A and B are shown apart, each in its own frame.
Chain A
Amino acid sequence: MARIVGMNGDTAVAYAVKQADVDVIAAYPITPQTIIVEKLSEYVNNGELNAAYVPVESEHSALSACVGASLAGARVFTATASQGLALMYEILYIASSLRTTIVMALGNRAFSAPINIHCSHDDAYAVRDAGWIELFAENVQEAYDLTFQAFRIAEDKNVLFPTIVNLDGFILTHSLEGVNVFEDEEIPKFLPPKEPVNPIDPEKPVSYGPLDLFDYYIEHKKQQAEALKASYPHILKVFEEFREFSGRSYKPLKTLSMEDAEVAVIILGSAAGTVRDVVRKLREKGEKVGVVSLTLYRPFPQEELVKVLKGVKAVAVMDRSYSYGSPGAQLFMDVAATLINVRDKPLLFNVIYGLGGRDLKPEHVVQVFEHAKKVAKEGEVPEKEVWIGVRE
């Protein structure tokens, strides 16, 4: 059963999308996701994938076409990054509010200006309020696995929300890794064809996207908020079914050495591996350090996080982005809001790292833990915001 193929993150996602037997792909090329749409075009044009590929003239139209296709009952995929996501912004909210089941791969890349094609999480964070489910891959295997799970989650009758698989630009999109792949015929056991809920049907005319004013809008928004919250256990169920299917286990939070950790790092994406490596080394020296990375970013795994941070004295929340003028960057604000009413919570500080593809090196992580230990020891946070790996 186990077949290992060398693939980069983009080709792994494209391969998963092909195996998921997607019906419609509408996408526009943008670095660093372009390989995904190139591979998918190849699959379609070579007859290996029976899907309609819509080569749209912009990302705005890409997501618009995906909305239409999803409402029509198709299994739908798109991929983008950075500026492309920014151009889609208006339609992000429409895609979730119309309860489409679009799956998107986001090759995380910094926002302009200045223009940069490498990794920041600006684009992933730009979706955080838009009502999408967001997953983060840490490596290429996860990008492949999460793509299947994203379709299952989005199309689950108890979920029905568009879902993003985030993979760090270049670090994952372009890095070659051995990926344990499924055989095509195995896939339907985990991911059967989409069974659309209330698709467009001329026999059963429905008006999708009507004008909704002050007499109903707020009720609809509350229903949407509740629906996304209620999707949580069903996301966990998909993770569990994937474990049964593949033997590979996914959880909202991935933790290492958190049982007795006094200081910890919380982080998203590929850099979690670097932190984990440092944690192992520091543990060998007897330091009580731990790390939490999030596979599920939206809906935010609040309860699990509170549980896992119990007893921790200081936490460095690491953001690969910045929120100008805010009391903290995006993940920091999420963690702070999660802990706000918890008694005996850890002290928090925000570490900004890796913007525009700057490497996060093990020595940077050591510095972060040094800082965290100081905070834990002194019981106060001298600097709430620390930039790391920056030339002065």
Chain B
Amino acid sequence: MSNLNLIKTVKDIPPEEYLAPGHRLCAGCGAPIVVRLALKAVPGPKIVVSATGCLEVATTIFPYTSWKVPWVHSAFENAAATASGIEAAFRALEKKKGAKKPKIIVFGGDGGTFDIGLQALSGALERGHDLLYICYDNEAYMNTGIQRSSATPKGAATTTSPAGRVIPGKLERKKDLIGIAVAHGVEYAATANPAYPVDLYNKLLKAAAVKGPTVIHYYTPCPTGWRSDPSRGIEIARLAVQTRIWPVYEYDHGTWRINIMVKKPKPVEEYFKLQGRFRHLLQPENKWLLEEIKKDVEENWNRLLKLAGLKT
């Protein structure tokens, strides 16, 4: 891992692009950022597998495609399984015919990863396929019109967890994807955020260097689903980190690191007030939920500090 060409500034990111413009992702969508960076960071020949979702429908409307690398879409819940088959095929053909095995990159949204695709992902991680799985998490089923997923954060309003008079949005906590990945014995797993592109790029480099399954959990601003200003996506992404709501950390061959240390967190209200999905949390009648969320955020941060061997 030491011989990786980790970058120091965004200027070190190669200029070549493998995702052509003209795709139909929304203005301000965070997904293409990780796609573009992953295709730059992962060296050598590569194949992309996409789960059904925003990225898939917006980049490949027949007869057009934005993908300058081989791209495969089969269904919603099976991206990790489809990728497993491709990886196995190249492994077999490499042995038989000497064909060079490309790196497989998988993109799934939070619905396709945390919910319906979790079993297929678990299987692929357990079997140890050589693939980089990237979950672009916009915290709800955005492609079908903003429905709650198990990645939707507590308090968020979606069309299936609306901020009602009795139940003010989603009441359950977000699932711990990195914990799930690490429990499978993967060598590398990390969260990443577009407001920290150097960290994101270096994580893609580290993940790609592992021979085996790795997971990147990527924070994906979604102005459409979050009811936020498309021009402020990166600002919101940075606030997610600076409030400690969305910690940026990694598990690297047994070592946990908090990559973006937040010594003095900003008030969560600053993050919430920029997004329509959270605005109801600032109403006096929902103060109890806001307090619960603050407690959750602190608990999670302390959990990560402990994992990283730091004082709480």
Given contacts A202-B102, A206-B70, contact A64 B119 (CB under 8 A): no
B298 CB to nearest A CB, Å: 36
Q: Closest A residue to B99 by CB, please name it.
A: A73
A94 to B52, CA, bound (A): 13
Residues of A within 8 A of B61 (CB): 210-213
**Do residues B74 and A72 form an inter-chain contact, with CB atoms below 8 A?**
no
Segment among B78-86, B241-249, B255-263, B264-272 that sits at the interface with chain A: B78-86
Segment among A53-61, A249-257, A315-323, A333-341 that sits at the interface with chain B: A53-61
B182 contacts the other chain (Cβ, under 8 Å)?
Answer: no
A160 contacts the other chain (Cβ, under 8 Å)?
Answer: no
A112 CB to nearest B CB, Å: 20
Chain A positions 58-76 with a Cβ under 8 Å from a chain B Cβ:
58, 60-62, 64-74, 76
**Do residues B70 and A202 form an inter-chain contact, with CB atoms below 8 A?**
yes
**Do residues A68 and B65 form an inter-chain contact, with CB atoms below 8 A?**
no
A204 to B102, CA, bound (A): 13
A200 contacts the other chain (Cβ, under 8 Å)?
Answer: yes
B17 CB to nearest A CB, Å: 13
**Do residues B92 and A61 form an inter-chain contact, with CB atoms below 8 A?**
no
Residues of A within 8 A of B90 (CB): 72
Given contacts A69-B86, A91-B74, contact A52 B91 (CB under 8 A): yes
**Do residues A211 and B57 form an inter-chain contact, with CB atoms below 8 A?**
yes
Given contacts A50-B95, A54-B88, contact A61 B81 (CB under 8 A): yes
Q: Closest A residue to B78 by CB, please name it.
A: A64
**Do residues A68 and B84 form an inter-chain contact, with CB atoms below 8 A?**
yes
A90 to B84, CA, bound (A): 18
**Do residues A205 and B71 form an inter-chain contact, with CB atoms below 8 A?**
yes
Residues of B within 8 A of A74 (CB): 88-89, 92-93
Interface size on B, residues (CB 8 A): 45
Residues of A within 8 A of B120 (CB): 57-58, 60-61, 64
**Do residues A91 and B75 form an inter-chain contact, with CB atoms below 8 A?**
yes
Chain A positions 64-113 with a Cβ under 8 Å from a chain B Cβ:
64-74, 76, 90-91, 94, 98
B281 contacts the other chain (Cβ, under 8 Å)?
Answer: no
**Do residues B65 and A210 form an inter-chain contact, with CB atoms below 8 A?**
yes
**Do residues B126 and A205 form an inter-chain contact, with CB atoms below 8 A?**
no
A217 CB to nearest B CB, Å: 8
A23 to B60, CA, bound (A): 30
**Do residues B122 and A57 form an inter-chain contact, with CB atoms below 8 A?**
yes
Chain B positions 92-126 with a Cβ under 8 Å from a chain A Cβ:
92-93, 95-96, 102, 119-120, 122-123, 126
**Do residues B92 and A52 form an inter-chain contact, with CB atoms below 8 A?**
yes
- Of A51, A210, A216, the residue contacting B92 (CB under 8 A) is A51
Residues of B within 8 A of A213 (CB): 61-62
**Do residues A69 and B81 form an inter-chain contact, with CB atoms below 8 A?**
no
- Of A61, A203, A209, the residue contacting B72 (CB under 8 A) is A209
Residues of A within 8 A of B93 (CB): 23, 72-74
**Do residues A65 and B96 form an inter-chain contact, with CB atoms below 8 A?**
no
**Do residues A68 and B72 form an inter-chain contact, with CB atoms below 8 A?**
yes
Highest count of chain B CB atoms <10 Å: which of A60, A203, A205 = A205
Given contacts A23-B92, A64-B78, A73-B89, contact A202 B47 (CB under 8 A): yes
**Do residues B67 and A207 form an inter-chain contact, with CB atoms below 8 A?**
yes
Residues of B within 8 A of A70 (CB): 85, 89
A384 to B60, CA, bound (A): 50
B183 contacts the other chain (Cβ, under 8 Å)?
Answer: no
Given contacts A57-B122, A202-B45, A210-B61, contact A64 B88 (CB under 8 A): no
- Of A76, A204, A209, the residue contacting B73 (CB under 8 A) is A209
**Do residues A23 and B119 form an inter-chain contact, with CB atoms below 8 A?**
no
A72 to B74, CA, bound (A): 13
Given contacts A72-B86, A72-B93, A210-B65, contact A205 B81 (CB under 8 A): no
**Do residues B60 and A68 form an inter-chain contact, with CB atoms below 8 A?**
no
- Of B57, B85, B126, the residue contacting A67 (CB under 8 A) is B85
**Do residues B69 and A61 form an inter-chain contact, with CB atoms below 8 A?**
no
**Do residues B84 and A65 form an inter-chain contact, with CB atoms below 8 A?**
yes
A208 to B93, CA, bound (A): 20
Residues of A within 8 A of B60 (CB): 207, 209-211
B214 CB to nearest A CB, Å: 18
Residues of B within 8 A of A206 (CB): 70-71
A92 CB to nearest B CB, Å: 11
A201 contacts the other chain (Cβ, under 8 Å)?
Answer: yes
- Of B46, B74, B83, B127, the residue contacting A55 (CB under 8 A) is B127
**Do residues A26 and B85 form an inter-chain contact, with CB atoms below 8 A?**
yes
**Do residues A200 and B47 form an inter-chain contact, with CB atoms below 8 A?**
yes
- Of A24, A203, A204, the residue contacting B85 (CB under 8 A) is A24
**Do residues B88 and A52 form an inter-chain contact, with CB atoms below 8 A?**
yes
A289 CB to nearest B CB, Å: 48
Q: Closest A residue to B58 by CB, please name it.
A: A211
A115 to B87, CA, bound (A): 35
A211 to B82, CA, bound (A): 17
Q: List 9 A-B contacts (CB under 8 A).
A: A26-B84, A56-B123, A58-B120, A60-B120, A66-B85, A74-B93, A201-B70, A210-B73, A211-B56
* Chain A residues packing against B (C-beta within 8 Å): 23-24, 26, 50-52, 54-58, 60-62, 64-74, 76, 90-91, 94, 98, 200-213, 216
